[in-house]
Chains A and B, each alone.
Chain A
Amino acid sequence: MRKQIEEIAAKILMIGATVVVAGMVVLILGTVLWRGLPALSWDMISQTPSGGYYLGKGGGILNAIVGSILVAGGATLLSLGLALPVALCLNVYFKTQSRLAGCVRASLDVLWGVPSIVYGAFGFGLMLWLGLRASLLGGIITVALMILPIMIRAMDEVIHMVPREMLEASDALGATRWEGAWKVILRQALPGLASAALIAFGRGIGDAASVLFTSGFSDRIPMSLAEPAATLPLAIFFQLGTPFPEVQQRGYAAALILTAIVLAASALARLVSHRAGRFVIR
């Protein structure tokens, strides 16, 4: 009897928690759609702000859309170049119980937990030291630093799932470790690696604090790495911060655009995973 009650209580709790979480997703998406969709217009997506946009006049936030994609996309590419070698090294060259690998993983976990505003401040300090102004490049570097630990740890987990024997099979054919890593492990792990890159991209494009000082804000679309770049999270923040209801509405529309970009990236990653996953050994 007691066991049955336990079982029922546990079931109710678990189902309840699942419903709450699923409800949150619906609620968030619902709010953004409900409040943003009416204000969303072609102008918003296709134009840069004209004077007085934040007072309710015409124009759009193309500058922030392009800026965000450039900052987050650039940062994703940059950290991809660093994360892949690290994740491969942790799994292919280090032994499974290597103390150094343990230290690297522990410090990455710490870095993962560091608030993004701290990365913003650190990036800003770095830029001052390098003599950079708030710019696209500054934003890319700072966001790359912020998403790097996320990407490495996600890739680390994915590569860790590749059966050891697969690498041994490559070794046994007289391949070097590098060849095994590059030609076998990467192919086996590719779908997961695409998801890892996507998670990092999503985190990067949605973050306001890291780009606050480092990429600046501008009404124009940046034409070089040295120009400041507007970003969507800051655009949302500025619009919601105005006292004008119609501008606030546009803030929700901008949030909707941001969500749509993340969803589109997610769909792209799934497509890549699906295509690359054809050869994966399960």
Chain B
Amino acid sequence: MTANTHIEVKDLNVHYGTIHALKNIHVKIPNCQITAVIGPSGCGKSTLLRSFNRMLDTMDDVRVTGGVLVDGENIFAANADVPRLRRKMGLLSQRPFPLPMSIYDNVAYGPRIHGISRRSDLDRTVEKYLRMANMWDEVKDRLREPAAKLSIGQQQRLCLARGLAVEPEIILADEPTSALDPISSRHIEQQFRELRADYTLVMVTHILRQARRLADYVLFMYLGELIEHGPAAELFENPREELTKDYIKGTIS
């Protein structure tokens, strides 16, 4: 029934303590497209993204009802194999967080955990995904150096390579360019366009123009509610809801 949708959100409600952060979210994320989640600060867009791979668990006092089906499996089910489901999703956060190890080991971290240990296999994997993140040529001679030595833009691409290396089908990005300079941002955006053919991308952004540049499908959220969603062209040109119009015109932000 849901076999061809990687992520389907069903009646999702999230409470932080007394705050109702997500209200009855119900949406299917289209495959192999870039979906942008837009909306003003505090509208719950990050919370929605973090619910997809159940990153809300680490926070205090969170209550979740409803669910997120990842390839038909509810990740919030009590018996869900969370690490296995998370493996289907790469995550890019606002600021890159490389792991405290070498460039090589950062990319190899996921594959090693999932059982690849042969040196030649790891070498091949690391090269493949560093190439995919367009940084192989920059780092091929310094793979043993600490990841901390890279510039922040390179670190973000390293994090992308690290996420791709576990062979996910979905990439989640939480304002992935907000800490980057314009040139690094362009790199990341370009990569997203290239990845669109094979991956389902979901990107939270507060930059409306970025959403216009990249998105195929758009979710507009406001104060924890999903106000409107649809193909980007349609939503940007002919928004149905007043709030969406106001947001796109810039009357609210």
Interface residues in chain A, defined as those with a beta carbon under 8 Å from any beta carbon in chain B: 95-97, 163-176, 179, 183-184, 187-188, 278-282
Of residues 213 through 243 on chain B, the ones whose CB sits less than 8 Å from some CB of chain A are none
Contact with A187, one of B60, B95, B100, B114 (Cβ below 8 angstroms) = B100
Chain A residues with CB below 8 A from B55, complex form: 168, 171-172
Q: A95-B60, A183-B109, A280-B148 are in contact. Are A169 and B101 (CB under 8 A)?
A: no
CB-based contact B97/A166 at 8 Å: yes
State in angstroms the CA–CA spacing of A164 and B163 once bound together: 18
State in angstroms the CA–CA spacing of A168 and B83 once bound together: 12
Rounded to whole Å, the gap between the CB of A89 and the closest CB of chain B is 15
Rounded to whole Å, the gap between the CB of A281 and the closest CB of chain B is 5
Cβ-closest chain A residue relative to B112: A183
State in angstroms the CA–CA spacing of A217 and B169 once bound together: 67
Check B159 for interface membership: any CB of A closer than 8 A.
yes
Rounded to whole Å, the gap between the CB of A93 and the closest CB of chain B is 11
Check B29 for interface membership: any CB of A closer than 8 A.
no
CB-based contact B99/A172 at 8 Å: no
CB-based contact A172/B163 at 8 Å: yes
Check B157 for interface membership: any CB of A closer than 8 A.
no
Q: A165-B93, A168-B58, A281-B148 are in contact. Are A173 and B100 (CB under 8 A)?
A: no
Check B98 for interface membership: any CB of A closer than 8 A.
yes
- A/B pair count, beta carbons within 8 Å: 87
Chain B residues with CB below 8 A from A279, complex form: 100-102, 146-148
Q: A168-B55, A279-B146 are in contact. Are A174 and B84 (CB under 8 A)?
A: yes
Q: A95-B58, A163-B97, A165-B93 are in contact. Are A173 and B146 (CB under 8 A)?
A: no
14 A-B pairs within 8 Å (CB atoms) are namely A168-B93, A169-B91, A171-B55, A171-B86, A174-B114, A174-B166, A175-B110, A187-B99, A187-B100, A187-B101, A279-B100, A279-B147, A280-B100, A281-B100
Rounded to whole Å, the gap between the CB of A246 and the closest CB of chain B is 54
Of residues 78 through 92 on chain B, the ones whose CB sits less than 8 Å from some CB of chain A are 83-84, 86-87, 89-91
Chain B residues with CB below 8 A from A172, complex form: 53, 55, 86, 89-91, 163
CB-based contact A173/B162 at 8 Å: yes
Of residues 19 through 73 on chain B, the ones whose CB sits less than 8 Å from some CB of chain A are 53, 55, 58-61
State in angstroms the CA–CA spacing of A281 and B97 once bound together: 8
Chain A residues with CB below 8 A from B89, complex form: 172
Please tell me the size bucket of the interface on B: 20 to 34
Q: A172-B55, A173-B109, A173-B163 are in contact. Are A166 and B99 (CB under 8 A)?
A: yes
State in angstroms the CA–CA spacing of A97 and B159 once bound together: 29
CB-based contact A278/B146 at 8 Å: yes
CB-based contact B110/A169 at 8 Å: no
Of residues 145 through 202 on chain B, the ones whose CB sits less than 8 Å from some CB of chain A are 146-148, 159, 162-163, 166
Chain B residues with CB below 8 A from A166, complex form: 97, 99-100
Greatest chain A CB density within 10 A among B99, B109, B162 is at: B99
CB-based contact B100/A188 at 8 Å: yes
Cβ-closest chain B residue relative to A187: B100
CB-based contact B109/A170 at 8 Å: yes
The 9 closest A-B pairs by CB, nearest first: A174-B87, A172-B91, A173-B110, A188-B100, A165-B97, A187-B100, A279-B146, A174-B83, A279-B100
Cβ-closest chain A residue relative to B113: A175
Rounded to whole Å, the gap between the CB of B4 and the closest CB of chain A is 23
Contact with A173, one of B95, B102, B166 (Cβ below 8 angstroms) = B166
CB-based contact B53/A169 at 8 Å: no
Rounded to whole Å, the gap between the CB of B111 and the closest CB of chain A is 9
State in angstroms the CA–CA spacing of A155 and B116 once bound together: 32
CB-based contact B159/A174 at 8 Å: no
Chain A residues with CB below 8 A from B60, complex form: 95-97
CB-based contact A170/B99 at 8 Å: yes
Rounded to whole Å, the gap between the CB of B201 and the closest CB of chain A is 15
Rounded to whole Å, the gap between the CB of A24 and the closest CB of chain B is 37
